[in-house]
């Protein structure tokens, strides 16, 4: 039996999935870890936690599926994008990693645009503007604020690539994940020597770039023994979690778009040719499909908003067998669409698309004595989906075809949230048979790298199919069409107040 593993190093935990070459799931395991917030809008993690979780989950699926060492032919890695692992010459971690939702680098983003000769020239170089979540501003932050640590710096790796280093001993990344560092020439699919020079950063800081299905190394003897695997097991380039999720939902051809509501909210559309938003509101990155690209909008707080609401506001108050989230969702399902005039701005960690505003704050607007907990919950779901419609609107305005919307992530598992997506987007939403998202996507990449498929398109066609459709409710869609411009106006009305709050808080 040939087995492939997909390992997804996420923000809240790591998930490992074992599949056979037909895409059938044999076992899965998850291990969680904390996220530190030393200051408001700062977000850090200890890379050692990722490694420990990777080891624990791989060993768990090997045990659950009763695998022999030689059964596992390949491993694909997915990971939270943009995070910065700073390593010294001895490959020791210098300080905790700054994550994708860390907002401390606003000044460094200004510095990057200035050094590049302006925002337009920067977008021409790397297809994207400088955003606080990206990796390049984090490197400059280290140089500007922790010069002693910067003096020790020898390599900067992304989260999944630090795990790769420990699996194989190789320093490598893939083009989809590297695109989010703001240092890649996205069109040429390699590091931008021009921008690196302007930022006075040496290319030697960065790992070698591979296409996502290419083999980057094999397990070292020590790690193979630790995991119960063989040194013949290959590790492929893998993908950033957004591109990996797109593979896991079969978004590998023109006209396909995936929505993913996990910690963040993602709108991801495939593109055969490189095209970018001249205003820099959408990201243009290399896809995990060889030689292809994608455009993506990101709302920094997607399902994380509901997680915050459940854990911070109602922690310990729910009892019974039903999960707190399900109890809240059941209450929200009793509330009419539109939450009776209650709006929620889901900017709990600032916002990326389309505002690129680290000072944005979460807000309930329109509260009355009539509103209940169910109204609050539903308005959170609607607010997150409105935020994702911001991205979808830009995609449509740029003329990118959207023939099918595939929903994934935690938001796709709840029927109410699926319906809200169909109604807010004004288009039917489908789900597919594979619910494991990024882990499944990179397991398929491992299947390609190990020789079971000639390319990822063939692997997806053989293993992924649509299993359900949620039609839009025409009346609800008409209501949301009227509510969406008001939702957008609320941000514009509060933008200067958000800035004042941030200044006061600092």
Q: At what angle do helices 438-449 and 456-463 cross, to 10 degrees?
A: 120
DSSP helix/strand/coil, 382: helix
Quick one: tokens of 436?
């494991």
In 3D space, the residue among 467, 458, 349, 464 whose CA is nearest the CA of residue 418 turns out to be 467
Long-range contact pairs involving 325-330 (C-beta distance under 8 Å, separation at least 24): 328/373, 328/374, 328/377, 329/377, 329/414, 329/416, 329/417
DSSP helix/strand/coil, 56: helix
Annotation marks residue 102 as catalytic: no
Q: Which of 162, 177, 241, 390 is catalytic?
A: 241
Residue 373, burial from CB neighbour count under 10 angstroms (0-12, 13-18, 19+): middle
DSSP helix/strand/coil, 237: coil
Whether residue 82 is annotated as binding a ligand: the answer is yes
Q: Which residue has the tokens 């933008």?
A: 495
Measured between alpha carbons, how far is 3 from 312 in angstroms, rounded to an integer? 40
- Vertex 499: Cα angle to 496 and 502 (nearest 5): 155
Quick one: tokens of 49?
């936690």
Task: Give 294's Cβ-side CA count (13 Å radius).
Answer: 33
Q: What is the CA radius of gyration of the chain?
A: 22
Measured between alpha carbons, how far is 332 from 350 in angstroms, rounded to an integer? 25
Measured between alpha carbons, how far is 257 from 296 in angstroms, rounded to an integer? 10
Contact 266, 257 (CB under 8 A): no
β-bridge pairing 172-174 and 208-210: parallel
In 3D space, the residue among 344, 345, 346, 361 whose CA is nearest the CA of residue 502 turns out to be 361
- Which stretches does DSSP call E strand in 181-310? 184-185, 190-191, 208-210, 215-218, 234-236, 239-240, 256-261, 265-271, 283-286, 293-299
The residues annotated with a catalytic role in the active site are: 241
Q: Which residues are annotated as a binding site?
A: 81-82
**Residues in binding site for substrate:** 81-82
């Amino acid at each position: 039996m040939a087995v492939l593993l997909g390992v997804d190093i996420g923000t809240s935990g790591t998930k490992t999935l074992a599949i056979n070459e037909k895409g059938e799931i044999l076992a899965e395991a998850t291990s969680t870890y904390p996220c530190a917030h030393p200051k408001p809008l700062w977000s850090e993690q200890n890379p050692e936690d990722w490694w420990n979780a990777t080891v624990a989950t791989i060993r768990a699926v090997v045990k659950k599926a009763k695998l022999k060492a030689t059964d596992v032919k390949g491993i694909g890695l997915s990971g939270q994008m943009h995070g910065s692992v700073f390593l010294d010459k001895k490959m020791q971690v210098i300080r905790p990693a700054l994550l994708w939702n860390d907002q401390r680098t606003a000044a460094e983003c200004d510095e990057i645009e200035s050094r590049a000769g302006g925002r337009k020239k920067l977008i021409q170089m790397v297809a994207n503007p400088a955003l606080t979540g990206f990796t390049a501003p984090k490197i400059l932050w280290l140089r500007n604020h922790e010069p002693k640590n910067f003096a020790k710096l020898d390599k900067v790796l992304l989260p999944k690539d630090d795990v790769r280093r420990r699996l194989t001993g190789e320093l490598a990344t893939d083009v989809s994940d590297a695109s989010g560092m703001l240092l890649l020439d996205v069109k040429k699919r390699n590091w931008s020597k021009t921008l690196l020079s302007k930022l006075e950063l040496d290319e030697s800081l960065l790992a070698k770039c591979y296409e996502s299905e290419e083999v980057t190394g094999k397990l070292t003897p020590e790690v193979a023994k630790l995991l119960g695997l063989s040194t013949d097991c290959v590790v492929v380039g893998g993908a950033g979690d957004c591109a990996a999720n797109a593979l896991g939902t079969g978004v590998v051809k023109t006209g396909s778009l995936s929505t993913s509501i996990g910690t963040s909210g993602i709108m991801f559309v495939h593109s055969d040719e490189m095209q970018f938003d001249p205003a820099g509101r959408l990201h243009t990155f290399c896809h995990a499909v060889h030689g292809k690209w994608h455009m993506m909008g990101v709302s920094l707080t997607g399902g994380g908003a509901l997680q915050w609401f459940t854990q911070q506001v109602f922690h310990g108050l729910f009892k019974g067998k039903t999960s707190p989230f399900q109890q809240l969702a059941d209450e929200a399902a009793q509330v009419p669409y539109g939450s009776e005039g209650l709006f929620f701005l889901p900017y709990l960690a600032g916002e990326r698309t389309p505002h690129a505003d680290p000072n944005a704050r979460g807000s309930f607007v329109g509260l009355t004595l009539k509103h209940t907990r169910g109204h609050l919950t539903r308005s959170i779901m609607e607010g997150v989906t409105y935020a994702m419609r911001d991205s979808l609107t830009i995609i449509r305005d740029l003329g990118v075809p959207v023939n099918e919307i595939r929903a994934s992530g935690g938001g796709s598992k709840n029927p109410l949230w699926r319906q809200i997506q169909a109604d807010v987007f004004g288009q039917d939403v489908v789900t597919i048979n594979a619910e494991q998202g990024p882990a499944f996507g990179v397991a398929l990449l491992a299947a390609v790298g190990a020789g079971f498929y000639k390319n990822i398109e063939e692997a997806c066609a053989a293993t992924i199919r649509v299993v359900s459709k949620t039609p839009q409710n025409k009346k609800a869609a008409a209501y949301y069409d009227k509510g969406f411009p008001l939702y957008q106006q609320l941000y514009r009305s509060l933008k200067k107040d958000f800035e004042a709050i941030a200044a006061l808080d600092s």
